[in-house]
Amino acid sequence: MKILRLFEYQKFYFSELEKLGPRLKDDIRSFDEKHAKSNGGSLIFNWNHKDYFKATHYVGVVQVGNLCIEILPKIDNSAIEEQRQFIQSRENLIYMLSMTQNLPLLQRDEASQSFKEENFLEFIIRSYLVNLDKQIRLGIDRKYIYRESNLKTVKGKLLLTKHLVTNGLTSLNAFVGFDEFSEDTTINRILKAGCDFILKFSASSENKLLAKRCVSAFDEVDSAKLGEMDYVKIVYSRNNTRYSILVDFAWALISKRILNPKAGDNNTFAFVFSMHRLFEEFMANLIKKNAGYFGLSAGQIAAQAAGNRRWFMTDKVDPSGRFRLKPDILILSNDGNPLIVLDTKWKKLLADDEDVKNGVSQGDLYQLFAYAKIFKTSKNILLYPAVNGTSESSYLPNDGSFDSIEVRFIDLNRNLKKEKRIIIEELRLILEI
């Protein structure tokens, strides 16, 4: 498997791509366009240039045939060499995903194969399988399942009507209903199906070996086809709740929610995330999980203004609301009134000497202006990743309808997991609650 590593918005020339495979340009573009049609119309790559294609705001893995393209968040740190930038960026991406996407991820030191050499997707699969193997060793899921069967011995309750229809009056068999302590549970069926899926997709011999070992633990589990309702109806108990995150990941795999393969081709698929959305969710989770540090309760933090619906406009004929306003993060006061609007923007701004407005778009300001007017918040923040040479700024509305819109920065050019406390302190200073 050939691996091509790119940062967001990095270009790669077609002349170099040709060296990796003669039809790769057409194959990648064809898959990208088909993938976009089935996923909201957004392309993973920008194809508007004659000599090269370019990564966009999507990060993750795109595999086409024998080429794996790994796209990582851009790091604004030219002081470290590129290989180290890739490793730090991948570590940060894995941490952000572990905080936001409910993925069963290991830290890199826990995985046996070199973190530097394997691709991002194989690392995630490895994390899942290592975690699954640990849980299997503690015991697989079992529960009492009601069965009906025509047996030679009486077991449970004799089902007289079915017994007479099936056996008559002379048979030595008994048609009975009974509870059986069984491994053939929905949880185990999903986990087994997830491992079978990995055996088809993974190119890693170590991952395949791990998947086979996990599958062998489910020998007594049926491989019948699973439907959405099977997954939805799972009820966890104190004994099996440790499997919940693994079941969620396995279901996402087999229902093709996180791997989107090309029809009939298991070697061509995408496993990508929008950095706009990921940055927003990461900040919201970080604030919510550390609410006490900010002097808040988790209930005072509403991602996407959940439970605090406001409408930008109302239909002239139909009085119902139109154009709902959904700031990324809405912080409420103790009495439940909107206090702070924080909108995240995954965008590399310009340095002060390049643009007096640092490249902050009018659209971003218009959006926050609407939030401030409708929610009547005293503090309104546009939050961007920090870039060298940029300064924080505040903008005042001419009509005096609210205090200000503040442009603030959070420094993500560091190891996010190891320096989490520093990031949280930066957020505390930004929010100033």
- The predicted-structure confidence for 100-132, as pLDDT tens digits, reads as follows 877 777 655 444 444 555 678 888 889 899 999
Distance in Å from the first CA to the final CA of the chain: 51
Phi/psi for 73 (5° steps) reads -60, 140
User: Which is more confident, 176 or 329?
Assistant: 329
Q: Predicted confidence band at 308 (pLDDT cuts at 50, 70, 90)?
A: confident
Predicted TM-score (pTM) of the model is 0.81
Nearest CA among 73, 66, 75 for reference residue 23: 66
Please report the pLDDT score of residue 47 as a whole number.
Answer: 97
Please report the pLDDT score of residue 312 as a whole number.
Answer: 74
- Tell me the per-residue pLDDT of 354-389, one tens digit each, with 9 for 90 and over: 877 888 889 999 999 989 998 999 899 999 999 888
Q: Predicted confidence band at 426 (pLDDT cuts at 50, 70, 90)?
A: very high
d(CA 40, CA 274): 12
Please report the pLDDT score of residue 163 as a whole number.
Answer: 81
Please report the pLDDT score of residue 116 as a whole number.
Answer: 54
Q: Is the pLDDT of residue 264 over 70?
A: no
Please report the pLDDT score of residue 430 as a whole number.
Answer: 93
User: Which is more confident, 327 or 156?
Assistant: 327
Contact 345, 382 (CB under 8 A): yes
User: What's the mean pLDDT in 36-48?
Assistant: 88
User: Which is more confident, 149 or 216?
Assistant: 216
- Which of 75-89, 205-219, 387-401 is predicted most confidently? 205-219
Q: Predicted confidence band at 404 (pLDDT cuts at 50, 70, 90)?
A: confident
User: What's the mean pLDDT in 339-367?
Assistant: 88
The mean of the pLDDT values for the chain is 86
Residues 6 or more apart in contact with residue 420 via CB below 8 angstroms: 286
Contact 12, 44 (CB under 8 A): no
Please report the pLDDT score of residue 110 as a whole number.
Answer: 47
Please report the pLDDT score of residue 78 as a whole number.
Answer: 59
Q: Is the pLDDT of residue 319 over 90?
A: no
Strand partners, 69: 4, 62
Q: Is the pLDDT of residue 56 over 90?
A: yes
Q: Where are the domains of the chain?
A: 2-139+186-274, 143-182, 290-431
